[in-house]
Amino acid sequence: ILNVEQSPQSLHVQEGDSTNFTCSFPSSNFYALHWYRWETAKSPEALFVMTLNGDEKKKGRISATLNTKEGYSYLYIKGSQPEDSATYLCAPRRGNTDKLIFGTGTRLQVFP
């Protein structure tokens, strides 16, 4: 069983605040880490795929870092906007397989 924990479970921030949350996963047999965003009433969408220890990825105001040795990834949102409100899911992959198991998710709500 792949134990993937995300914290916090939920987060409420004001527009303009910067925020970050964590994905923790077993570091053994690590292959890749995927981040997804899932807005209410829409489909989950891929944000980042990260493979190397120390990787940093950025898309607009959202960035992510990866530590494969200690088994965690951080997702940062700079200057949160209401449209950032969504559930953010991480999914580590062990080996080059199609098996993608999602973490528990962090639900972000950004208030105007």
Partner 1 sequence: DTEVTQTPKHLVMGMTNKKSLKCEQHMGHRAMYWYKQKAKKPPELMFVYSYEKLSINESVPSRFSPECPNSSLLNLHLHALQPEDSALYLCASSRAPGELFFGEGSRLTVL
Residues that bind partner 1 in the complex, under the rule CB under 8 A: 32, 34, 36, 42-46, 49, 89, 91, 93, 96-105
Largest CA distance in the chain: 42
Choice between 18 and 53, CB closer to partner 1: 53
Choice between 44 and 78, CB closer to partner 1: 44
Count of CB atoms within 10 A of residue 64's CB? 23
Residue 33: exposure state from Cβ atoms within 10 A (0-12, 13-18, ≥19): buried
Choice between 22 and 104, CB closer to partner 1: 104
Smallest gap, in angstroms, from Cβ of residue 96 to partner 1?
A: 6
Separation of alpha carbons 41 and 4, rounded Å: 24
Smallest gap, in angstroms, from Cβ of residue 19 to partner 1?
A: 20
Question: What's the chain's Rg over C-alpha atoms?
Answer: 13
Smallest gap, in angstroms, from Cβ of residue 32 to partner 1?
A: 6
